[in-house]
Amino acid sequence: MKTGSFASDDSFSVAADRSFPFTTTTQIIPHPSPPHDNYNSDYNNYNDTDGVSLTWEDLWVTASVGGKAKHILHGVTGYARPGEVLAIMGPSGSGKSTLLDALAGVCEYVTQDDILMTTLTVREAVYYSAHLQLPDTMTSAAKRFRAETTIKEMGLQDAVNTRISGWAVNGLSGGQKRRVSICMEILTRPKLLFLDEPTSGLDSAASYHVMSRIVGLAKHDGRTVVASIHQPSSEVFELFHNLCLLALLSYGNCLFWSEFFTCNGFPCPSLTNPSDHYLRTVNKDFEDKDIEQGPGAKSISVEESINILVNSYQSSDTFQEVKHKVAEMCKNSRGSMLMFIAAFLTFMAIGGFPSFVEDMKIFQRERLNGHYGLTSFVIGNTLSSTPYLALISIVPGAMAYYLVGLQKSFDHFVYFALVLFTCMMLVESLMMIFASVVPDFLMGIITGAGIQGVMMLNGGFFRLPHDLPKPVWRYPMFYVAFHRYANQGFYKNEFIGLTFPNSDGNGTITGEEVLRDVWQVNLSYSKWVDLAVLLGMVVLYRFLFLFIVKIKENLKSSVGACLMVQSQQAQLIMEQP
């Protein structure tokens, strides 16, 4: 829980209660000499009333660990002035990021990770952020001018048309991406700016370039900048005006951790591998021995032996059973192909989960800054993905539909494409739910694949509906799995109106009979009802995503409030004589 307020003298005061099991103290160390020759003259060009002065006094951050309150920040006091860059330094775990979190409140905050849309160029990303952040009273031309000016301020004018690099796209360097992140947060010309590890992952040259730009902007516009930094080079250190040094007082016993890692993290490797014995057993060579015939046996040629075996097989009941099975397989080939489309082609939609996880990170950052709400994100995501899902449904769907000889009428293909598009939209909705619950993309893919696999098994193909065990698998899984409605919609669209030769050679059978007797499809309602159910499931899953995200936000607020109350109660108990 953190609170913030602007005082009448344009100073910003913050009090916070947070959590982490460490104890730290802090002190403000003024720089012994101005890092720039013209610093004093530049600083005198404006007065403190043009900017925001940040002060914090007796700031405590506590955590509840095992029912006991432990302090991470202990009575921290400090300040930051306009036109200056305050550096927060300390060893890992000393609370640098925690102090920034406590101070930031609703101010512009550049986090340690560069969360950017990797498919956009620098200009597109900054333009997009400008239209989100800048007020509606500004014209589009003014917003574009502000964006171009900000890009030049951060020295990115030579990379405006370069795509932001990511896991699937090569583009900007690490230092350039860091400057793009800063660009997007200074569009509103904030008087108070927080930076968490702005030089993380950068070499010394890139670190100096980024920090020199930040210092220049702070001096030019009278901005107050607070930045945490881990190991600055001597050149970067000389750029800072003040230093807030966090000193770690207690962390644990080194001998304890050493023994812990030795016992649990690095066990002695076994001298032998048990699997070697199994491999030697199953890898033995087969013996090739001639079979001795009995006394007086007649020798026959290989060809004669084959003929005897073939004739015996053709006169057996097994051969007749195989013929019947082959006839059923030929009759069922259409249904098998349609099931493959409904199951495995939509299964590939899981591959977009990593990109959606990145979109969720961008959404959380922009929602934290108040750019837009959750409903706007869901609507925007739906509208932006619809053209691509439609294209993926039509192009591969048309190739698969007409190449295998399904019904060639246009209305049948339109229904086929609509069901395929709805299934892909539904899978994307499922992955949105998984992304809200499992933020790690690898675990999300595993979870999504597992859930889809269970639905696929209960879709009415691998086991017919009447053959499914009633507990769980038929009730309710068969009715929850979207593959059921997709398969039945595909089957009705393809089989109704067709006739097939009977496997016993007597007459023909209709497509309706195949649906009822072979696939056990419910013919009491039309194929359009199956499509409507799929569309309803898409809407339901999108609302479920909204509900889960809202619940998680409320839980975080409730937990934070409980921790604050516990900390205050513990502090009152300590203060009582």
* Exposed/middle/buried for residue 452 (C-beta within 10 Å: 0-12, 13-18, 19+): buried
Q: Are residues 452 and 477 in contact, defined by beta-carbon separation less than 8 angstroms?
A: no
Q: Quote the longest CA-to-CA distance of the chain.
A: 121
Closest CA to 59 of 29, 79, 82: 79
| pLDDT tens profile 388-404 | 889 988 998 898 888 88
Average pLDDT score over residue span 462-480: 87
Does domain 2-252 fall into CATH 3.40.50.300? yes
Q: Is the pLDDT of residue 577 over 50?
A: yes
Distance separating alpha carbons of residues 46 and 189, to the nearest angstrom: 16
Average pLDDT score over residue span 35-53: 46
Total-model pTM: 0.56
Closest CA to 62 of 569, 577, 575: 569
Q: What is the DSSP string of 444-463?
A: HHHHHHHHHHHHHHTSSSSS
Average pLDDT score over residue span 428-446: 84
Work out the pLDDT band at 189, boundaries 50, 70, 90. confident
Distance separating alpha carbons of residues 69 and 177, to the nearest angstrom: 39
How many other β-carbons are positioned within 10 Å of the β-carbon of residue 160? 17
Work out the pLDDT band at 534, boundaries 50, 70, 90. very high
* Range of weakest confidence among 319-323, 417-421, 548-552: 319-323
Which pLDDT score, from 0 to 100, does residue 124 have?
A: 92
% pLDDT > 90, the chain: 14
Distance separating alpha carbons of residues 69 and 376, to the nearest angstrom: 39
**Cβ contacts of residue 49 below 8 Å, gap of 6+?**
10
Work out the pLDDT band at 147, boundaries 50, 70, 90. very high
Which pLDDT score, from 0 to 100, does residue 46 have?
A: 42
Segments making up each domain of the chain, as ranges:
2-252, 320-561
Instruction: Tell me the average pLDDT of the chain.
Output: 72
| pLDDT tens profile 215-233 | 888 888 888 888 888 777 7
| pLDDT tens profile 230-288 | 777 778 878 888 777 665 433 233 233 234 334 434 334 344 322 232 223 323 332 33
Higher pLDDT pick, 367 / 287: 367
Work out the pLDDT band at 544, boundaries 50, 70, 90. very high
Q: Is the pLDDT of residue 39 over 60?
A: no
Which pLDDT score, from 0 to 100, does residue 199 have?
A: 78
Handedness of CA 129, 131, 136, 142 (dihedral sign): positive
Higher pLDDT pick, 224 / 332: 224
Instruction: Report the DSSP pairing between strands 2-6 and 11-16.
Output: antiparallel
Distance separating alpha carbons of residues 304 and 300, to the nearest angstrom: 6
Distance separating alpha carbons of residues 246 and 440, to the nearest angstrom: 32
Average pLDDT score over residue span 175-194: 84
% pLDDT > 70, the chain: 67
Q: Are residues 53 and 84 in contact, defined by beta-carbon separation less than 8 angstroms?
A: no
Higher pLDDT pick, 229 / 322: 229
Work out the pLDDT band at 570, boundaries 50, 70, 90. low
Higher pLDDT pick, 265 / 119: 119
Average pLDDT score over residue span 438-467: 85
